[in-house]
Structure 1
Amino acid sequence: MRDRDRKPKFQRPEGPKRHAGPRREAGRRQPWRGREGAADDTVILYGWHTVTAALANPKRRIRKLFLTENAARRLADDKIDTRVTPEIVRPTLIDQRLGPDAVHQGMLAEAEPLASPDIDTLPQEGIVLVLDQITDPHNVGAIMRSAAAFAVKAIVTTARHSPEATGVLAKSASGALELVPLVTVQNLARALTEMNERGFLTVGLDSQGEQNLASVALREPLALVLGAEGKGLRQLTRETCGVVARLDMPGEIKSLNVSNAAVLALYIGASRLCLMS
């Protein structure tokens, strides 16, 4: 049969497009690739605790919010204000944005970074954590979560050789990114020197420390300084700390993962300071 003898296929006449709720057409967009359409300074937040903590933080500006139908229903049931009109999308769209291994629970937010306080605004009480080039976002996120549990006043980290406060770090922190101020400095030794001058007791944690942390005369304001796994504290960091102490372990393994070491150091520090008050 020649082409001109073929009967034309029936085509449904075009009518007005149907919309099923606010901005639902977002779920039919082309797959996301990386941070397509997002500004360079966009912070990516995903997961229930991470996103709801951001929504509850008045200092966090939410640019866009992507939700699955189930996540939107859960937010509504819990009476959580989304603050912006969410885009309802299929779970696969968020999977494509984050990767298949990200546990996003149907929630993804694009937000602006939180402001970094200045080092001279640190409170003269309680505990501050200082991170010396810890680059693993899972570890930093876990440390932030522990910091929030122990009411740490702030975390000081370097602008370089540290993970961005977004994505995996935010998810690992499980909402703590909104609770513990993150102070970013250009030069850690200079920042520690300033903290020493302002009356902080700066205690570097190192397996070769001369004293056991449990025997150090701790006082407020206290800064606990943690080094990266493997490398530990850098030499200049060690030399700038007022005290270098170790965590004594009774077992055969004498060192801990840095996030676990942070928990133990915080427990010792908080217990000692509590006894003094």
Structure 2
Amino acid sequence: MRLIVGMQPVREAIAAHGEKLGRVLVAKDGGPKVDALSRFARDRGAKVETVERRELDSIARGAYHQNVIAYAPELAFVEAADLVVLDKPIVLALDEIEDPQNFGAIVRSAVALGAAAVMWPEHHSAPLTPATFRASAGAIEHARLCRVSSLPSALAELKAAGFAIVGLDANGDADLSTMALRAPLVLVVGAEGKGLRKPVKGACDALARLPMRGPVASLNASVAAAVALYEVTRAT
């Protein structure tokens, strides 16, 4: 079981897993929001236990738990080959995004914007911890997750299956907003500062840039991913 902390991440875990949750622990006298969450959990078959706040403090180990903690099933992962059978999917691939806040925020955007899956390499990527789950505002509970041993190899596999592979690069040859895009497609986003690694760039069909109108030449990785994914989903 995974530890989930915080009001919104726990709510999304309840919505996604219901009676499959291990336990939902809520603080005694936690207030009306905690009471509402307890009812929400019970209505969906989850087991709710009321405990002293100090017990939640001990379990959370400093994390901001907002008087509620849950134990959720381990995340399930799919293989790259599983994405091939989906109907014209848009996949968001993350190249060594190591910051949990950025990683979680990107997953949240991917779910909100309808990406079919989020793919990333198992090494040099953000760990899947309560901080990452919280940064996604619980959206990771609804995401199709594809963790691969080699991102360039996975991209090559999807390219062979007919996916277009578009890398986001500040020095890309094409403006993303003017490209003729089609699904199935993988949008590849690199880490802030480092960008895409050379082997990942080599696996892309095209490198695209976001049009920047102001004096600032770059965006935070999670913001860039959200803007680019919106453009891709709109265009396809």
Q: Write the letter of the residue equivalent to 1:46.
A: V
Contact 2:24 2:46 in 1 (8 A): yes
- Tell me, which stretches of 5 or more residues in structure 1 are unaligned? 1-41
Instruction: Determine if the alignment matches structure 1 residue 174 to structure 2 residue 137.
Output: yes
Larger Rg: 1
Q: Write the letter of the residue equivalent to 1:140.
A: F
> What secondary structure sits across from 1:163 in the alignment?
coil
Q: Which residue of 2 aligns with 1:139?
A: 102
Q: What is the 5 A alignment of 1:67-106?
A: 67-69=26-28, 70=30, 73-78=35-40, 80-81=42-43, 83-100=45-62, 102-106=63-67
Post-superposition offset of 1:79: 6.5
Q: Which residue of 1 aligns with 2:216?
A: 253
Give a deviation string over 1:104-149, Cα, whole Å, max 9, x none.
2211112231210111111241311000010111111111111111
Give a deviation string over 1:151-198, Cα, whole Å, max 9, x none.
110000111112233301111111211111111100111000011011
Of Structure 1 and Structure 2, the greater helix share is in 2
How many residues matched? Answer: 231
Q: Which residue of 2 aligns with 1:117?
A: 78
Q: Which residue of 1 aligns with 2:69?
A: 108
Q: Write the letter of the residue equivalent to 1:43.
A: R
> What secondary structure sits across from 1:193 in the alignment?
helix
Q: What is the 5 A alignment of 1:101-250?
A: 102-122=63-83, 123-250=86-213
Provide the C-alpha distance between the structure 1 equivalents of 2:106 and 2:219, rounded to a whole number of angstroms: 13
Q: Write the letter of the residue equivalent to 1:245.
A: A
Post-superposition offset of 1:76: 4.1
Post-superposition offset of 1:72: 5.1
- The share of aligned pairs that are identical, in percent, is 36
Q: TM-score, normalised by structure 2?
A: 0.90
Q: Write the letter of the residue equivalent to 1:163.
A: A
- Tell me, which stretches of 5 or more residues in structure 2 are unaligned? none
Please tell me the root mean square deviation across aligned C-alpha atoms, in Å: 2.0
Provide the C-alpha distance between the structure 2 equivalents of 1:200 and 1:60, rounded to a whole number of angstroms: 37
Q: Which residue of 2 aligns with 1:17?
A: none
Q: Which residue of 2 aligns with 1:55?
A: 14
Higher RCO by CA contacts (8 Å cutoff, separation 6 or greater):
2
> What secondary structure sits across from 1:57 in the alignment?
helix
Contact 2:21 2:46 in 1 (8 A): yes
Post-superposition offset of 1:59: 8.4
Give a deviation string over 1:25-76, Cα, whole Å, max 9, x none.
xxxxxxxxxxxxxxxxx42211122112112224894233321133652234
Contact 1:207 1:246 in 2 (8 A): yes
Write out the 4+ residue segments of structure 1 that deviate beyond 6 Å after TM superposition: none
Provide the C-alpha distance between the structure 2 equivalents of 1:111 and 1:192, rounded to a whole number of angstroms: 31
Contact 1:60 1:114 in 2 (8 A): no
